[in-house]
Amino acid sequence: MGLCVPCQLLNTCAGDRLNSAAACINEITSRHTLISVLSRLPNSNILVIPSQVPPPLAERQSEKMQESHGAEQIQQTEQQSATPQPPRKRHGKKWRELHPRSLLRAMGAQDGVSEDKVRALVETEYTDPVISLYLALSPERVTPERKGLLRSFHSMKTHALEEHKDFIESLSKSQKATLEHDIQEIQGFLADYFVPQHLRSLVIFRSGEKLNEVMGLLVPVNDGMRIDPDPYITPLEAVLEDDEKVLFVECAKQDTKFLLYQLGSCRQIDRSKAFVPTDTVDKTIPHHAQQHRLEHLRSHLRQVAGEVYQLYDQGACDLLVLMAENRVAAMLEEYLHESLKPKIIAHILDSPDADARDRKELIENALREHRAEKETKAIESLHNYKPEELASSLRNVLSVLNLFLIRKLLVSENLHQKGFACKEHHYLSLEAGNCPFDNSKLLAAENVVDEIVEVARLHGVEVLIIKHRQDLMAEYAGIAAIRYAVPAQAVVATG
């Protein structure tokens, strides 16, 4: 085995120890550390030579450089402490781990959908890209063995990554990592943790650690996935706009309950109690005593009417359902504000204590009849318009929509047709091609009817989705639009 350079030098020094010791030590210190050499030297007075020999020039220069470098480091550290730098975002091993259960916890912690929550989503600033996912939960999708829900998510993910390719490419490396991490967590949540139960749709908003919202809805939404700087809330706003909040007033002589029905859920929001003596006629009791008993009931009903108006005035409800005995219901309606009487969609003339029927079912039945009547009136009103004011069939409605001339739109809920769209300029077509505004290629749309509804709402068009009387839309091929009247001179000017 060959000897290292310091050992060879020591062997050389062993022959003439005293004469060449200083030279050997100088050469050794210039090539190697002195401490490693001293352990190999024999016990002799050579050990005192290094203290008598001045350090070589290279070593003195090295010490000076180290002292100078140390002083510079101290000065830089003081400057950095005076002007602190923002911490760098690092993604370690723990961050890279997937936690789909966090989405499950977010779903369990949800307290419903409201305009305040939607407004908070918009007003919050996000540093990472936001994923907005809308999933319709049809029976075919939620079957576990078919994994239809996961396949739908994969398809929407591919489409979203392609549609927002330019935005994604502009992201930083850290933002791209966060986006990929969020997509994987959503996929894991849908594959292993999400149980649809009786839900009809699922909405997810995700942006790193800043945003983690999961909403299960009892009303349908159209499929969609967006990757944007901010949450895509248009479908959620449409759900709130179409949804009519129903106040169910369950009124008895001494106890009144207020139940609110919204987005398929029903909950009690208030209760009013009062002492009301029996108001039945008793000939043995003087007339003034009978009036006193009746006044207790009237006072209670006036209080109930006042609370109903206050809830309506605050925007807590849009429609009313009254449940009470025939006499009590008639008295209560007398005390209701005049603006509330047209909002009553059903009277259930029965004693609340004696009626064990499910309140939610009663509300939904009343709401179904109300909406069917509303749709019937809207469809029948189409006959009042002139032919030039009305457009029907998908192709004709698209032609008017692309000119931004629609002011009211009626669409059958089950109408479905593939098409093409330019998201930037809101141009829609039934055939593939290019956008006439910038000549960009039109993107395929799974259902162009959904795109029509979205564009119409973006431009302030009154939209009515026909759910209960779709049979009446047959003569209009499932879709009809009332257009703005264009003056003759404007038509001539545009050719």
pLDDT tens, 190-211? 888 887 777 889 999 999 989 9
Task: Look at 82-86, 191-195, 242-246 and tell me which has the smallest mean pLDDT.
Answer: 82-86
pLDDT of residue 256: 92
Burial 199-221 (b: 16+ CB within 10 A, else e): bebbbbbbbbeebbbbbbbeeeb
Is residue 25 very low, low, confident or very high in pLDDT (cuts 50, 70, 90)? low
For residues 106 and 68, the model is more confident at: 106
Share of the chain above pLDDT 70, in %: 72
pLDDT of residue 205: 95
pLDDT of residue 462: 92
pLDDT of residue 446: 77
**Residue 295 pLDDT more than 70?**
yes
**Residue 170 pLDDT more than 70?**
yes
Nearest of 257, 360, 246 to residue 304 by alpha carbon: 257
Residue count (the chain): 495
Over range 357-378, report the average pLDDT. Answer: 94
For residues 192 and 481, the model is more confident at: 481
Tokens of 486: 């264009």
Task: Look at 89-98, 173-182, 372-381 and tell me which has the smallest mean pLDDT.
Answer: 89-98
pLDDT of residue 408: 96
Q: Is the dihedral of CA 482, 488, 494, 495 positive or negative?
A: positive
Strands 246-251 and 255-262: antiparallel
**Residue 36 pLDDT more than 60?**
no
**Residue 452 pLDDT more than 80?**
yes
For residue 197, give the H/E element and its range. Answer: none
pLDDT tens string 51-61: 444 455 445 55
Task: Look at 35-39, 146-150, 386-390, 434-438 and tell me which has the smallest mean pLDDT.
Answer: 35-39
Task: Look at 58-67, 96-105, 113-122, 176-185 and tell me which has the smallest mean pLDDT.
Answer: 58-67
- Name the pTM for this structure: 0.64
Is residue 72 very low, low, confident or very high in pLDDT (cuts 50, 70, 90)? low
pLDDT of residue 52: 45
Give CA angle at 394 (391, 400), nearest 5°: 45
pLDDT of residue 221: 86
* 8 Å CB contact between 100 and 192: yes
**Residue 248 pLDDT more than 50?**
yes
**Residue 277 pLDDT more than 80?**
no
pLDDT of residue 482: 96
> What phi, psi does 96 have (nearest 5°)?
-75, -15
**Residue 285 pLDDT more than 60?**
no
Show Cβ contacts of residue 285 under 8 Å, excluding neighbours closer than 6 positions: none
pLDDT of residue 74: 55
Is residue 176 very low, low, confident or very high in pLDDT (cuts 50, 70, 90)? very high
Is residue 454 very low, low, confident or very high in pLDDT (cuts 50, 70, 90)? confident
For residues 407 and 223, the model is more confident at: 407
